[in-house]
Copies of this chain bind each other. A is one copy, B any other.
């Protein structure tokens, strides 16, 4: 599996690559996202990536390794988006709504059809039988939980939550809200409906009303319009 190792490499001996690995992986992710791991053939993957099957195998290994790489890349992007939303000095409700809006821009891109969450829509299906996928899912879920809990602990320290609030319990609900949105997006729910769910959940978690336009920043994720 010879991949480019560094930008300042001596040379490139043989015939040059006709593809960009990152761009190909992006397209492959897009394909798995819609039809899942088992439901996506290598022919369709190759067509989406604009690569021939042998090139695909040289670059990524096999179908399974390719999916794992797509899954890892997805976690990186979504975890970063969630952390960015929760970071900073925003009020708790705004931070949470920002996180849900970021998720929504992944789940329902402004261009293209709704597809929900890559993990919940495709990886969860394989997780029971596939130990590697299961581990990736479990680890990712745990990290999101931890990010929410950290933010809720901060909120309590700052007096944004009542002193007797349970950050761990509220973090569970914050994660659960993201999960239910991911599921409903894949089941065809409208964006506005899902945002309303996010708003209601945030109200309960924060213990105060949240306006409909809270944190409506129209941010554009890089993954949004692939």
Which residues of A are in contact with B by a Cβ distance under 8 Å?
34-39, 113-116, 120-122, 124-129, 134-135, 137-138, 141, 166, 168-170, 172-173, 175-177, 179-180, 183-184, 186-189, 197, 200-201, 203-205
Q: Inside 8 A of A184's CB, which chain B residues have their CB?
A: 138, 141
Q: How many copies of this chain are found per oligomer?
A: 2
Residues of B within 8 A of A115 (CB): 128
Could you pull out 19 A-B pairs where Cβ atoms are within 8 angstroms? A36-B126, A38-B38, A39-B129, A113-B128, A120-B120, A120-B183, A121-B128, A124-B187, A127-B186, A127-B188, A128-B186, A138-B189, A166-B200, A169-B200, A172-B180, A173-B173, A179-B183, A180-B180, A204-B204
Across chains A and B, which 7 residue pairs bring their CB atoms closest together, nearest first? A169-B200, A38-B39, A176-B180, A38-B38, A176-B176, A125-B125, A137-B187
Chain B residues with Cβ below 8 Å from A34 are: 128-129
Q: Is the CB of A173 within 8 A of B124?
A: no
Residues of B within 8 A of A134 (CB): 187-188
Residues of chain B within 8 A of A177, CB atoms compared? 172-173, 176
Are A170 and B125 touching (Cβ within 8 A)?
no
